[in-house]
A and B are shown apart, each in its own frame.
Chain A
Amino acid sequence: MKLRVLYFARLRERFGVAEESLDFSGATAADLIGQLQARGGVWAEELASGRAFRVAVNQEIVTLDAVFPEHAEIAIFPPVTGG
Protein backbone atom coordinates (compact mmCIF):
# COMPACT_ATOMS: atom_id res chain seq x y z
CA MET A 1 0.00 0.00 0.00
CA LYS A 2 0.93 3.65 -0.33
CA LEU A 3 1.84 5.51 2.82
CA ARG A 4 2.28 9.22 3.43
CA VAL A 5 5.08 9.68 5.94
CA LEU A 6 5.89 12.95 7.71
CA TYR A 7 9.05 13.77 9.67
CA PHE A 8 9.46 16.51 12.25
CA ALA A 9 12.10 18.48 14.13
CA ARG A 10 15.57 16.91 14.43
CA LEU A 11 14.59 13.88 12.34
CA ARG A 12 13.30 16.07 9.50
CA GLU A 13 16.61 17.90 9.46
CA ARG A 14 18.73 14.76 9.69
CA PHE A 15 16.79 12.93 6.96
CA GLY A 16 16.58 16.05 4.81
CA VAL A 17 12.92 15.39 4.02
CA ALA A 18 9.70 16.67 5.60
CA GLU A 19 7.26 14.39 3.83
CA GLU A 20 7.28 11.50 1.38
CA SER A 21 4.95 9.01 -0.21
CA LEU A 22 6.24 5.45 -0.21
CA ASP A 23 5.28 1.93 -1.16
CA PHE A 24 4.90 -0.27 1.90
CA SER A 25 4.46 -4.01 1.81
CA GLY A 26 4.61 -4.60 5.57
CA ALA A 27 1.86 -4.34 8.15
CA THR A 28 3.10 -2.68 11.32
CA ALA A 29 5.00 0.38 12.50
CA ALA A 30 7.97 -1.90 13.22
CA ASP A 31 7.91 -3.07 9.57
CA LEU A 32 8.08 0.52 8.36
CA ILE A 33 10.94 1.35 10.70
CA GLY A 34 12.77 -1.72 9.36
CA GLN A 35 12.17 -0.58 5.77
CA LEU A 36 13.53 2.89 6.55
CA GLN A 37 16.53 1.52 8.48
CA ALA A 38 17.44 -0.48 5.38
CA ARG A 39 18.20 2.80 3.58
CA GLY A 40 21.34 2.95 5.73
CA GLY A 41 23.18 6.14 6.69
CA VAL A 42 21.30 8.56 8.90
CA TRP A 43 18.16 6.41 8.58
CA ALA A 44 19.85 3.39 10.12
CA GLU A 45 21.50 5.60 12.73
CA GLU A 46 18.48 7.58 13.89
CA LEU A 47 16.02 4.67 13.83
CA ALA A 48 18.34 2.10 15.42
CA SER A 49 16.92 0.16 18.34
CA GLY A 50 17.61 2.05 21.53
CA ARG A 51 17.20 5.46 19.85
CA ALA A 52 14.25 7.47 21.13
CA PHE A 53 11.64 8.31 18.50
CA ARG A 54 7.86 8.26 18.27
CA VAL A 55 5.53 6.97 15.56
CA ALA A 56 2.06 8.44 15.05
CA VAL A 57 -0.67 6.92 12.88
CA ASN A 58 -3.41 9.29 11.75
CA GLN A 59 -2.14 11.79 14.33
CA GLU A 60 -2.10 9.46 17.35
CA ILE A 61 1.07 8.09 18.93
CA VAL A 62 1.22 4.30 18.64
CA THR A 63 3.50 1.48 19.71
CA LEU A 64 5.68 -0.35 17.18
CA ASP A 65 3.28 -3.31 16.99
CA ALA A 66 0.50 -1.06 15.63
CA VAL A 67 -0.97 -2.23 12.30
CA PHE A 68 -1.34 0.53 9.71
CA PRO A 69 -4.78 1.11 8.18
CA GLU A 70 -5.13 1.85 4.45
CA HIS A 71 -4.17 5.39 3.37
CA ALA A 72 -2.76 6.15 6.80
CA GLU A 73 -0.89 9.36 7.58
CA ILE A 74 2.24 8.26 9.40
CA ALA A 75 4.58 10.58 11.29
CA ILE A 76 7.97 9.86 12.83
CA PHE A 77 9.45 12.36 15.25
CA PRO A 78 11.67 12.77 18.32
CA PRO A 79 10.20 12.73 21.84
CA VAL A 80 8.25 15.96 22.27
CA THR A 81 9.67 19.01 24.07
CA GLY A 82 6.89 21.60 24.24
CA GLY A 83 5.49 23.45 27.22
Chain B
Amino acid sequence: MKILVQREAFDLGAEVAAMSQGRTDIGAVASFVGLARDMNEGSGVQAMTLEHYPGMTEKALAALVDEANARWPLLDTTVIHRIGRLLPGDPIVLVVVASQHRGEAFAASEFIMDYLKTRAPFWKKEETLQGERWVEARASDDAAAARWIEP
Protein backbone atom coordinates (compact mmCIF):
# COMPACT_ATOMS: atom_id res chain seq x y z
CA MET B 1 0.00 0.00 0.00
CA LYS B 2 1.24 3.47 -0.86
CA ILE B 3 -0.55 6.55 0.50
CA LEU B 4 0.70 10.05 -0.26
CA VAL B 5 -0.65 13.54 0.40
CA GLN B 6 1.49 15.99 -1.55
CA ARG B 7 1.63 19.34 -3.32
CA GLU B 8 3.46 18.04 -6.37
CA ALA B 9 1.86 16.48 -9.44
CA PHE B 10 1.96 12.68 -9.80
CA ASP B 11 2.81 10.47 -12.78
CA LEU B 12 0.26 7.73 -13.48
CA GLY B 13 2.64 5.75 -15.69
CA ALA B 14 5.43 5.84 -13.13
CA GLU B 15 3.06 4.70 -10.35
CA VAL B 16 1.76 1.76 -12.41
CA ALA B 17 5.32 0.78 -13.38
CA ALA B 18 6.48 0.96 -9.75
CA MET B 19 3.59 -1.22 -8.65
CA SER B 20 4.19 -3.98 -11.19
CA GLN B 21 7.97 -3.91 -11.26
CA GLY B 22 9.60 -7.24 -10.39
CA ARG B 23 6.37 -9.19 -10.03
CA THR B 24 4.41 -11.37 -12.44
CA ASP B 25 1.38 -12.26 -10.35
CA ILE B 26 -0.57 -9.10 -11.26
CA GLY B 27 -3.12 -9.67 -14.00
CA ALA B 28 -5.02 -6.37 -13.81
CA VAL B 29 -4.29 -2.76 -12.93
CA ALA B 30 -7.16 -0.27 -12.77
CA SER B 31 -6.53 3.43 -12.25
CA PHE B 32 -8.56 6.56 -11.67
CA VAL B 33 -7.36 10.14 -12.03
CA GLY B 34 -9.51 13.04 -10.82
CA LEU B 35 -8.88 16.44 -12.43
CA ALA B 36 -9.76 20.01 -11.45
CA ARG B 37 -12.67 21.21 -13.62
CA ASP B 38 -13.11 24.73 -14.96
CA MET B 39 -16.83 24.77 -14.11
CA ASN B 40 -18.81 23.96 -10.97
CA GLU B 41 -22.33 24.84 -9.82
CA GLY B 42 -22.89 26.77 -13.04
CA SER B 43 -19.98 29.20 -12.83
CA GLY B 44 -16.41 29.26 -14.01
CA VAL B 45 -13.64 28.15 -11.65
CA GLN B 46 -10.28 29.83 -12.13
CA ALA B 47 -8.41 27.89 -9.46
CA MET B 48 -9.00 25.88 -6.33
CA THR B 49 -7.15 25.37 -3.08
CA LEU B 50 -7.28 22.04 -1.29
CA GLU B 51 -6.94 22.01 2.49
CA HIS B 52 -6.68 18.89 4.65
CA TYR B 53 -6.33 17.67 8.23
CA PRO B 54 -2.70 16.51 8.50
CA GLY B 55 -2.47 13.23 10.35
CA MET B 56 -6.13 12.31 10.04
CA THR B 57 -5.98 12.40 6.24
CA GLU B 58 -3.29 9.74 5.98
CA LYS B 59 -5.08 7.55 8.54
CA ALA B 60 -8.42 7.92 6.75
CA LEU B 61 -6.90 7.02 3.38
CA ALA B 62 -5.15 3.98 4.85
CA ALA B 63 -8.44 2.91 6.45
CA LEU B 64 -10.17 3.11 3.06
CA VAL B 65 -7.52 0.88 1.52
CA ASP B 66 -7.72 -1.55 4.46
CA GLU B 67 -11.45 -1.80 3.92
CA ALA B 68 -10.98 -2.42 0.19
CA ASN B 69 -8.46 -5.15 1.02
CA ALA B 70 -10.99 -6.77 3.34
CA ARG B 71 -13.58 -6.82 0.54
CA TRP B 72 -11.49 -7.92 -2.44
CA PRO B 73 -8.28 -9.94 -2.93
CA LEU B 74 -6.05 -7.05 -4.00
CA LEU B 75 -2.32 -7.28 -4.71
CA ASP B 76 -1.39 -3.62 -4.22
CA THR B 77 -2.98 -0.17 -3.97
CA THR B 78 -1.68 3.37 -4.41
CA VAL B 79 -3.60 6.51 -3.41
CA ILE B 80 -2.11 9.96 -4.01
CA HIS B 81 -4.08 13.13 -3.19
CA ARG B 82 -2.80 16.60 -3.86
CA ILE B 83 -3.19 19.67 -1.64
CA GLY B 84 -2.55 23.36 -2.20
CA ARG B 85 -3.58 25.56 -5.12
CA LEU B 86 -4.54 23.81 -8.37
CA LEU B 87 -5.61 25.10 -11.77
CA PRO B 88 -8.29 23.71 -14.10
CA GLY B 89 -6.93 20.59 -15.80
CA ASP B 90 -4.52 19.81 -12.98
CA PRO B 91 -4.70 16.27 -11.59
CA ILE B 92 -6.03 16.13 -8.00
CA VAL B 93 -6.26 12.49 -7.03
CA LEU B 94 -4.87 9.16 -8.21
CA VAL B 95 -6.04 5.66 -7.29
CA VAL B 96 -4.27 2.60 -8.70
CA VAL B 97 -5.37 -0.92 -7.77
CA ALA B 98 -3.66 -4.16 -8.81
CA SER B 99 -5.24 -7.59 -8.59
CA GLN B 100 -5.19 -10.98 -10.33
CA HIS B 101 -8.35 -10.28 -12.31
CA ARG B 102 -10.00 -7.10 -13.56
CA GLY B 103 -13.23 -7.34 -11.59
CA GLU B 104 -11.63 -6.70 -8.22
CA ALA B 105 -9.43 -3.89 -9.55
CA PHE B 106 -12.37 -2.06 -11.15
CA ALA B 107 -14.63 -2.49 -8.14
CA ALA B 108 -12.01 -1.59 -5.53
CA SER B 109 -10.90 1.58 -7.33
CA GLU B 110 -14.50 2.81 -7.56
CA PHE B 111 -15.10 1.89 -3.91
CA ILE B 112 -11.98 3.75 -2.75
CA MET B 113 -13.00 6.90 -4.64
CA ASP B 114 -16.58 6.78 -3.36
CA TYR B 115 -15.42 6.42 0.24
CA LEU B 116 -12.63 8.98 -0.16
CA LYS B 117 -15.23 11.55 -1.28
CA THR B 118 -17.18 11.18 1.97
CA ARG B 119 -14.55 10.17 4.56
CA ALA B 120 -11.16 11.69 3.82
CA PRO B 121 -10.76 15.16 5.41
CA PHE B 122 -10.09 17.34 2.37
CA TRP B 123 -11.90 20.58 1.55
CA LYS B 124 -11.92 22.56 -1.69
CA LYS B 125 -12.14 26.31 -1.95
CA GLU B 126 -12.80 27.66 -5.43
CA GLU B 127 -11.77 30.99 -6.96
CA THR B 128 -14.44 32.33 -9.33
CA LEU B 129 -15.07 35.69 -10.96
CA GLN B 130 -17.62 36.29 -8.17
CA GLY B 131 -15.01 35.63 -5.48
CA GLU B 132 -13.97 32.69 -3.35
CA ARG B 133 -16.34 29.97 -2.19
CA TRP B 134 -16.03 26.72 -0.25
CA VAL B 135 -17.34 23.74 -2.18
CA GLU B 136 -20.40 22.22 -0.51
CA ALA B 137 -20.65 18.46 0.01
CA ARG B 138 -22.96 16.76 -2.49
CA ALA B 139 -25.81 14.43 -1.60
CA SER B 140 -24.88 12.39 -4.70
CA ASP B 141 -21.50 11.61 -3.11
CA ASP B 142 -23.24 10.27 0.00
CA ALA B 143 -25.48 8.17 -2.24
CA ALA B 144 -22.48 6.81 -4.15
CA ALA B 145 -20.78 5.79 -0.89
CA ALA B 146 -23.98 4.27 0.47
CA ARG B 147 -24.08 1.80 -2.45
CA TRP B 148 -21.19 -0.05 -0.83
CA ILE B 149 -22.77 -0.55 2.60
CA GLU B 150 -23.05 -4.26 3.16
CA PRO B 151 -26.29 -5.66 4.58
Contact = CB atoms under 8 A, between A and B. Distances in A.
Interface residues of A, number: 17
Interface of B: 34, 50-53, 55-56, 59-60, 81, 92-93, 113, 116-125, 134-137, 141
A9 interface: yes
Nearest to B58: A59
Given A83-B92, A83-B122, A9 B51 contact: yes
B134 A10 contact: yes
A9 B57 CA distance: 14
A81 B135 contact: yes
A82 B137 contact: no
Nearest to B125: A9
Interface stretch (A26-34, A40-48, A63-71, A72-80): A72-80
Contacts of A8: 51, 53, 121, 123
